[in-house]
Structure formats: structure tokens, C-alpha cells
Structure 1
């Protein structure tokens, strides 16, 4: 199997994150805590909600079907290790939750693909997922 390299995985994650960060940033700039006009405060929540909707759609829906926007852009797919099929919405959601493990050990779990034979993070190992070249 042709596993995705660590730099490609990082690139895909960055491409996935950019729209969510931009939406959140716009909301913060327009209606952040320093806004003098309380009537624009709800705009912050609108942009935060848009960022959340984008994340759910991109990471869990599209990702669960095999490729988020970032993965598509970099030519990789997210699959189940045992079947080679996409994870599905729930599997992609659980995988993202399992990334907490990658994070709580000083982000070392995200570096596992640098030395792991299947280039898996700890979250990938927990959920039985692989990121492979499309």
C-alpha cells in the first residue's frame, strides 16, 4: 500500500484548517471582545457557527467519504485499514476525537507517521485508519 508521507498529511491538515481559521478570524475581527457596539456581538457567533459547520462538513462528512478538501487537494484518501473503504461520518468523527491522544502527549502522536511503518498517528492506530495516496 502506498501510504501518504508526513509532509503531505500536514499540508492536507493546513488546507483543511485555513477556511475555519479565516471564518473564526473574521468573526473575531468584526465582533470580538473589544467591539464597542454590543449589537454586532452576535456576528461573532454567526462566524463561529459557520466555522463549525465547515469543519463538520469537511472533516467528518467529506473526510468520512474518503477525502476532505485538503486530502483531495494533496491527492490522499482516508480509509479503514482492514477493508480499504472510507471510514464514514462516525469513523471520521471518532478519529478526530482520538487526536486528543496525539495532542496530550505533547503532540508526539502527530509525529508518529515520521517513523511508523504504516505512517499512522496514534489516532489512526486507535481507529484502524490509514491515509494513503489516492
Structure 2
């Protein structure tokens, strides 16, 4: 079997990439939901049980859209180029661990899905990167990829 050597990205670059990507996704979400959020907030005059119930209902009504946008953002960009906007700015990319090539659509989708689950459970899957010699998160390990410097 042919062995390859890849320049593994640092945890610092990965953290900044994560922050940038979260800001980009949140910007998209603010645009998408701006009219709904404006209407919701105009009806809230004080914090009470009724206003909390309205906010909770808004979240429940839109959680599937938010989750779908996150998975689509990470799946499509990683599948196409190995880079999200955050990874592009930080000059890192996700590649297949065995051959250093672009991830398949299935790998990218699996990576994005496990990443989302890790986020929902207090980012535990992200902690793997601090204890892995290849700085792999849980979603990297399960999708068979590694994040490298470009």
C-alpha cells in the first residue's frame, strides 16, 4: 500500500475556521429569518412566560430549517472543494485520509451530520482534536478524513 504524508492543520487554525463558519451561517440565518424575528420581537414588550413561549415556539417551528442549512453548508462546500469559507480564509481543507483527495459526497454528508450531532451534545466530538495526533475530531474520524494545511 502506498503511504502518503499530509501537512496536518493546527487546532488553532481549525478553531478560527469554526468561528468564521459559525458567523457566516448565523449571518445567513439572520437574513432568512429577519422578518419573522422582527415580527416576533415587536410583539415582546417584557420578559414573561408568554414572551418566552413565543420565542420557544419560533425556535421549534424553525429548528429543522436551521439544521438543514448547517448540514447543507458543510456538506456542499466540503464535497466541492474541501473548504468552507472559514477553511478557505485559514488556508486549510478536509481531505480523504487514505489518498489525500477530495471527499466523496457521502463522506462530506456524514462528516457534516456527525459534526451537527457533536454541536448538539456540548461539542464533545470536537474535543477529540485535542487528543488525536492527527488533530481529528469525531466527525473527521468517522468520515475517514483529516484537515490539512494548503
Q: What TM-score range do you get, normalising by the shorter chain?
A: 0.7 to 0.9
CA RMSD of aligned residues (A): 2.7
Task: Return the TM-score normalized by structure 1.
Answer: 0.74
For structure 2, list consecutive stretches of 5 or more residues without a partner in the other structure. 1-5, 44-61
| Secondary structure at 1:3 match in 2 | coil
Q: Which residue of structure 1 aligns with residue 54 of structure 2?
A: none
Q: Which residue of structure 2 aligns with residue 40 of structure 1?
A: none
User: Against the structure 1 CA distance between its residues 78 and 118, is the aligned structure 2 distance closer, same or farther, given a 3 Å change threshold?
Assistant: same
Task: Return the TM-score normalized by structure 2.
Answer: 0.67
Pairs within 5 Å for 1:92-107: 92-100=108-116, 102-103=118-119, 106-107=122-123
Structure with higher Rg: it is: 2
Q: Which residue of structure 2 aligns with residue 111 of structure 1?
A: 127
Count of matched residue pairs: 121
User: Are 1:123 and 2:139 counterparts?
Assistant: yes
> After superposition, what is the alpha-carbon deviation per residue over 1:63-112, rounded to whole angstroms, capped at 9, x for unaligned?
11311111111000100101111113332111011225534664222011
Asked if the contact 1:6/1:114 (under 8 Å) is kept, the reply is yes
For structure 1, list consecutive stretches of 5 or more residues without a partner in the other structure. 37-44
Q: Which residue of structure 2 aligns with residue 59 of structure 1?
A: 74
User: Against the structure 1 CA distance between its residues 130 and 25, is the aligned structure 2 distance closer, same or farther, given a 3 Å change threshold?
Assistant: same
Distance in 1 (alpha carbons) for counterparts of 2:23 and 2:71: 10
Q: How far off its partner does 1:130 sit?
A: 0.3
